[in-house]
Amino acid sequence: MIKIGIIGAGRIGKVHAKNIAMFVPEMKIKSIADPFMNEETEAFAARYGIEKTTKDANDLLNDPEIEAVLICSSTDTHSKYIIEAAKAGKHIFCEKPVDYDLAKVHEAIETAKHAGVKLQIGFCRRFDHNHRAVYDLVQSGKVGKVNIIKISSRDPEPPPVSYVKVSGGIFYDMMIHDFDMARFLAASEVTEVNAIGSVLVDPAIGEAGDVDTAIVTLKFESGALAVIDNSRKAVYGYDQRVEVFGSEGCAQNENDIPNTAVLSNSEGTTYGTAYKVMWDRYTGAFVAEMQAFADAVVNDKEAPVTGMDGLYPVLMAAAATKSLKEGRPVKISEVE
Ligand SMILES: NC(=O)c1ccc[n+]([C@@H]2O[C@H](COP(=O)([O-])OP(=O)(O)OC[C@H]3O[C@@H](n4cnc5c(N)ncnc54)[C@H](O)[C@@H]3O)[C@@H](O)[C@H]2O)c1
């Protein structure tokens, strides 16, 4: 068993802490740090057997007993903490995205590489049972050569505008997962990105300088094409589907629903709506990515989602942002 520390005790920090305490016996959380540490988080820590709480992340970065850290703080702190943790010789799991600034992403990845520590990025959807099943079918060769990828990714509710303002925009915050999923499924790098967007859900999102509805098309080195659509609001819950169409067939999945009860009556046959909360929709994926991180660290394996996997979606987000602004397709080489 290795001792770990968590930086950032917000929503995702607590999800990972709970999952580790319940489902990852190889890791024991020694400390959790957050500058806004409060009684509620202290009680949370006590409930899940976390020894120490602190307002200062340096307490855990300087603790020689701690072998690995989870960076779950706000995005603008990720690259700084990757660099500090790597220099302190800790293995690192860092939430997505690594940073909005490409120079900082490169510096963080290089520092971790130079320090010889593992760096895993939190693209949890790679571990989702439905998406992984499509990936496995593609990898097995059953759909042949990949020609078209389609990803629909729609949230049940838009986030508060205060969040939108600091999120980096829909491409860095939301579609970043789909950029990762597209290159994961294509097993090829993207060369060109074309984005269109609208404000159709919440005018306040437009006033904050973002769009809430977007469609992006991608061209890959392999010649494959992809289309991703995002909406910040789907009234029927979390809509998360992927499809891979190839020379020999097509693999696709459907949404997860909380239960399989079906109502049939004179009006028709209905299923329940999809999950309404991200933590419920991706419960298994969040657990599996932590188990994979523990496996990489304890058994000295390569992290399953590397620093470079963290870089490419940021490049794609930069290209999509530029494409939307300039109204033209943007090559990855223009933003690299
Ligand atoms: N993989 C996913 O699906 C997923 C889901 C949610 C969030 N995230 C990512 O996780 C990160 C956190 O998101 P969240 O929803 O938990 O946000 P949150 O606001 O709930 O939590 C962030 C926490 O970081 C703390 N913090 C701020 N500055 C800090 C610092 N300098 N040092 C330590 N802690 C600091 C805040 O006090 C807060 O408690 C974001 O980068 C987000 O993109 C990923």
What is the per-residue pLDDT across 22-49, written as a single tens digit (0 to 9) for each? 999 999 999 999 999 999 999 999 999 9
CA distance 29 to 280: 23
Does residue 165 sit in helix, strand or coil?
A: helix
The model's pLDDT over 107-126, given as tens digits with 9 standing for 90+, comes to 999 999 999 999 999 999 99
Strands 239-246 and 225-231: unpaired
Task: Look up residue 299 and give its two tokens.
Answer: 């058994």
Strands 190-198 and 330-331: antiparallel
Which residues are CB-neighbours of 44 under 8 A, at least 6 positions away? Answer: 9, 14, 17, 50
pLDDT of residue 280: 94
Ranges of each domain in the chain: 2-117, 128-276+313-335
Task: Look up residue 169 and give its two tokens.
Answer: 């925009």
Q: What is the mean pLDDT of residues 306-310?
A: 97
- Residue 36 beta carbon below 6 angstroms from any ligand 1 atom: yes
* Domains 2-117 and 128-276+313-335 belong to one CATH topology: no
- Residue 17 beta carbon below 6 angstroms from any ligand 1 atom: no
Domain 2-117 - what CATH class?
A: alpha beta
User: 157 to each of 27, 162, 233, 278, how far by Cα in Å?
Assistant: 34, 14, 5, 10
Instruction: Look at the block and give the residue holding tokens 């769009």.
Output: 211
Strands 66-71 and 91-94: parallel
Question: Would you say 249 and 142 are in contact if contact means Cβ atoms under 8 Å apart?
Answer: yes
Mutate which of 19, 54, 74 for ligand 1? The one with the most ligand atoms within 8 Å of its CB, which is 74
Task: Look up residue 217 and give its two tokens.
Answer: 């098309």
DSSP 240-272: EEEEEEESS-EEE-----S---EEEETTEEEEP
- Residue 55 beta carbon below 6 angstroms from any ligand 1 atom: no
CA distance 61 to 45: 18
Among the ranges given (13-17, 76-80, 161-165, 200-204), the one the predictor scored with the smallest mean pLDDT: 161-165
pLDDT exceeds cutoff 90 at 244: yes
Kindly indicate whether the domain formed by 128-276+313-335 is annotated with CATH number 3.30.360.10: yes
CA of 123 to the centre of ligand 1 (A): 14
Instruction: Look at the block and give the residue holding tokens 């020894």.
Output: 51
Q: Which atom of ligand 1 is nearest to the CA of 9?
A: 39
* Radius of gyration of the chain measured on its C-alpha atoms: 20
Mutate which of 75, 95, 170, 178 for ligand 1? The one with the most ligand atoms within 8 Å of its CB, which is 95
* Among 258, 5, 287, 11, CA closest to 132: 287
* Nearest protein Cα to ligand 1, atom 7: 12
CA distance 44 to 20: 13
The model's pLDDT over 256-272, given as tens digits with 9 standing for 90+, comes to 999 999 999 999 999 99
* pLDDT band, residue 331 (cuts 50/70/90): very high
